[in-house]
Amino acid sequence: MLSRFKKASRVFQGGSKEQNSETTPPTTAATAPTPSTTTASSPTAMATSILAISTKLTLGVIAPPNDSVHQVEIVTTEVEPAHVSLDSRPASHSSMSNNEKTSSDHATIPPSNAAVPASNTATATAAGTTNFTTATPVAQSSSDQSPSVALLRNDIFPQNIDVPSPKVSLPRIRGRVESTPQLAFLISLLRAASSSHTSSVDNGGTASAPQDTLIDAAYRDWVKTTTQHLIEKDYIVTLPSKLVVAFITDASKNSTAINEIVLLGPVLEREDYRTLLRCFIKEFESRILDLELLQGLIHLVQSASPGFLDSDDLVDILTPICTRLQGVHQKSSVHPYHLTLAVSRILDVMAKLKVEDLERISIHEPLSVFLRGMKDSSDPYLMYQACYAFQALQYVPDDETALEAFLRHSTGLVDGLIKISGLVQLNFGGFLEGVKEGQKVIEEAASTIKSAFEGVLSLFESGRGVVDSVREGLGSGHKRLWYLAVRGATILVREGRLAELNKLIVEAPCRRNPLFQMGICQLLGEIVVDETWDVVTRKQAVDFIGVLYRDDRDWGRDKSVKQWMWIILCRISKVQDQAVKNHASVLVRNFRVNGCSELPGESPLRPRLTPPKSYPLLNRVQKIPEVEKDLHEVALAQLSHHWDHQLYVYIPPQVKASVDAADSDHSPLMEEVMTFLKGEREVLLLRGVSGAGKTTFNHKLAYDLWTEYTTGCPGGRIPLFINLPESKKPDEDMIAEKLRSLDFSNAQIKELKLTREFILICDGYDERQLLGVNLHTGNGFYGPGRWKAKLIVSCRSQYLPRDYLFDFQPKPKRNPPRTSAELYQEAVIIPFTEDQIEEYVKEFVVLPDDQVLLADRPKWTVDEYMTRFRDIPNLMDLVGNPFLLSVSLQVLHLVIGDTQDLRTIQVTGVQLYDKFVEKWMERGQKRLRENQHLPSDQRAALQSLSNDYTTSFSRHAIKYMKDLATSVFEKQEQAGNPTIEYSQHAERGTWKAKFFGDGAEISVLRQASPIVGTGTQFQLLHRSMLEYFYSLDFFDPGETKKTDNHGIPSYEALLDSFRTHKMTKRSIVGEPSVVQFLGERARTDPDWKQMLLVLMDTMETDVESIQGANNAIAILLDAGIPINGVDLRTLRPQWYSST
- Neighbouring C-beta atoms of residue 495, cutoff 10 Å: 20
Among the residue ranges 1027-1031, 1073-1077, 1124-1128, the one predicted with the least confidence is 1124-1128
Q: Please name the amino acid found at residue 990.
A: T
Give the model confidence (pLDDT) of 800-856 as tens digits. Answer: 988 999 999 999 988 788 899 999 999 999 999 999 999 999 999 998 877 777 767
Per cent of the chain over pLDDT 70 is 69
- Per-residue pLDDT for 732 more than 70? yes
pLDDT mean over 240-250: 94
- SS3 assignment for 571-603: HHCCCCCHHHHHHHHHHHHHHHHCCCCCCCCCC
Query: Is the predicted pLDDT of residue 276 greater than 90, yes or no?
Result: yes
Higher pLDDT, 1062 or 926: 926
**Residue 884 confidence class, pLDDT cut points 50, 70, 90:** very high
Find out whether 483 and 386 touch, Cβ atoms under 8 Å. no
Indicate if the pLDDT at residue 63 is higher than 70. Answer: no
The candidate with the shortest Cα–Cα distance to 477, out of 455, 445, 510, is 455
d(CA 464, CA 482): 13
Biggest alpha carbon distance in the chain?
Answer: 132
- Is the pLDDT reported for residue 910 higher than 90? yes
Cα(363)–Cα(318) distance, integer angstroms: 9
Note the pLDDT tens digit of each residue in 1041-1080: 444 444 455 556 655 666 677 888 888 988 999 999 999 9
Q: Cβ neighbours of residue 498 under 8 Å, at least 6 residues apart? A: 157, 159, 160, 161, 492, 537, 540
| pLDDT confidence of residue 594 | 54
* Percent of the chain topping pLDDT 90: 30
Residue pair 1009/945 in contact (Cβ under 8 Å)? The answer is no
H-state helical runs in 645-714: 669-678, 694-711
CA pair distance 596, 590, nearest whole angstrom: 9
Cα 420 from Cα 453, distance rounded (Å): 8
Separation between Cα atoms, residue 861 and residue 319, nearest integer Å:
70
Local confidence band at 404 (pLDDT 50, 70, 90 cut-offs) = very low
What is the rounded average pLDDT for all residues in the chain? Answer: 74
Name which residue leads in pLDDT, 964 or 817. Answer: 964
Of 439-448, 555-564, 977-986, 1109-1118, least confident by mean pLDDT is 439-448
Sign of CA dihedral 507, 510, 512, 514: negative
Comparing CA positions, the residue from 1030, 1102, 1101, 1036 lying closest to residue 1064 is 1102
φ, ψ dihedrals at 448, nearest 5°: -65, -50
Please give the model's pTM, rounded to 2 decimal places: 0.60
| DSSP conformation class of 789 | E
**Do 894 and 915 form a contact (C-beta atoms < 8 A)?**
yes
Predicted confidence (pLDDT) at residue 389 exceeds the cutoff of 90: no
Q: What is the mean pLDDT of residues 296-315?
A: 87
Q: Considering Cα of 1039, then 1041, then 1045, then 1047, what sign does the dihedral take?
A: negative
What is the average pLDDT across 965-988?
85
Q: Which residues contact residue 814 at a Cβ distance below 8 angstroms, ignoring those fewer than 6 apart?
A: none
Task: Look at residue 142 in the predicted model and tell me its pLDDT.
Answer: 32
Q: Judge contact between 1099 and 1125, C-beta under 8 A.
A: no
Q: CA 97, CA 88: separation in Å to the nearest integer? A: 15
Q: Which of 370-379, 560-569, 871-880 has the lowest mean pLDDT?
A: 370-379
The pLDDT value given to residue 89:
30
Residue 183: CB partners within 8 Å, gap ≥ 6? 177, 236, 239, 240, 243, 264, 618
What per-residue confidence (pLDDT) applies to 359? 64
What distance in Å separates the CA atoms of residue 654 and residue 701, rounded to the nearest whole number? 14
Please, are residues 612 and 259 in contact by the beta-carbon 8 Å criterion? yes
3-state secondary structure 1019-1056: EECCHHHHHHHHHHCCCCHHHCCCCCCCCCCCHHHHHH
- How far is 477 from 908, CA to CA, in rounded Å? 86
Q: Burial level of 1095, CB count in 10 A (0-12/13-18/19+)?
A: buried
Report phi then psi at 847, rounded to 5.
-70, 140
Residue 328's pLDDT is what? Answer: 60
Cross-strand bridge partners of residue 1017 = 981
Contact 131, 436 (CB under 8 A): yes
- Structure confidence at residue 1125 as a pLDDT band (50, 70, 90): low
> What would the pLDDT profile of 681-708 be if each residue is shown by its tens digit?
999 999 999 999 999 999 999 999 999 9
* Side chain identity at residue 233, one-letter code: K
At 402, the pLDDT band (50, 70, 90 cuts) reads very low
109 or 461, greater pLDDT:
461
Instruction: Say how far apart CA 228 and CA 538 lie, in whole Å.
Output: 43
Work out the average pLDDT over 725-746. 91
CA quadruple 1085, 1090, 1092, 1094: dihedral, nearest 10: -170
In tens, the pLDDT along 506-515 reads 888 888 888 8
Chain segment 608-663, per-residue pLDDT in tens:
666 787 889 998 998 888 888 899 899 999 999 999 888 889 999 999 999 999 99
Q: What is the pLDDT of residue 469?
A: 54
pLDDT of 623 reads: 86
pLDDT score for 79? 31
With CA atoms as reference, report the closest residue to 984 among 943, 1021, 1014: 1014
Q: What's the pLDDT score for residue 336? A: 75
For the segment 375-401, the average pLDDT, to the nearest whole number, is 73
Using alpha carbons, list the distances in angstroms from residue 818 to 777, 804, 822: 15, 20, 6
pLDDT value of residue 808: 94
pLDDT above 90 (res 131): no
Q: 337-351, 488-502, 567-581, 831-845 — which one is most confidently predicted on average?
A: 831-845
pLDDT at 439: 30
Alpha helices in 114-268 (DSSP H): 180-194, 217-228, 230-249, 255-262
Distance separating alpha carbons of residues 370 and 358, to the nearest angstrom:
16
pLDDT in tens, 190-231: 888 876 444 444 444 444 555 455 557 888 888 888 888 888
Q: Which of 22-31, 42-51, 73-82, 876-885 has the lowest mean pLDDT?
A: 73-82
